[in-house]
A = this chain, B = another copy of it.
Amino acid sequence: MAIRIFVTGGTFDKEYNELDGRLLFKETHVPEMLTLGRSKVDTVVATLMMIDSLDMTAEDRDAIVRECGRAQEDRIVITHGTDTMEVTAAVLGRAAQGKTIVLTGAMIPYKFGSSDGLFNLGSALAFVQTLPPGVYIAMNGRCFPWDNVQKNRRTGRFEEIR
């Protein structure tokens, strides 16, 4: 059972530019994280974009839906910034492609020592292997269906809407 991992950027992959003190995107760290986790899951990683999810446009989301449809795999993990993760999940959820799609991300960049990224990637890969078709968000060790999840802006945690 091969799993496709689509990378879109987000906090997960942010790095610190030591020359100007700004945060930036270079390459994705997902393959390095899979190696660190000694993952033996059959995965194929592809980078769709490397952006802050606050900068993600409707066109970007259409591209994500299209790539999920095109992918040979029926099980897909998408790494995504947390700020608009629920928006992309909803677009994917309404597109209803009959696949199991799990979005995940991180509150702290993987390269910054105390990141939740490895925990989230481990849980996302597990959820995508076991859940029925549908679109989900895996954050904080939990998994939410796309139509009942929101990010609590005050705490930074994901929770049910109702």
Contacts and interface: CB of A to CB of B under 8 A. Distances in A.
A94 to B, nearest CB: 24
Interface string A2-34: 000000000100101011010100000000011
A124 B121 CA distance: 12
B107 A126 contact: no
Interface string A108-133: 11011111101111111111011100
Nearest to A129: B143
A36 interface: yes
Given A122-B122, A126-B127, A130-B127, A157 B40 contact: yes
A98 interface: no
Contacts of A84: none
Interface stretch (A58-66, A67-75, A85-93, A134-142): A134-142
Contacts of A120: 37, 122
A141 to B, nearest CB: 4
Given A21-B23, A112-B112, A126-B126, A107 B140 contact: no
Contacts of A126: 122-127, 130, 138, 141, 143
A119 B122 contact: yes
A158 to B, nearest CB: 8
A36 B130 CA distance: 24
Interface of A: 11, 14, 16, 18-19, 21, 23, 33-34, 36-41, 52, 83, 107-109, 111-116, 118-127, 129-131, 138-143, 153-154, 156-159
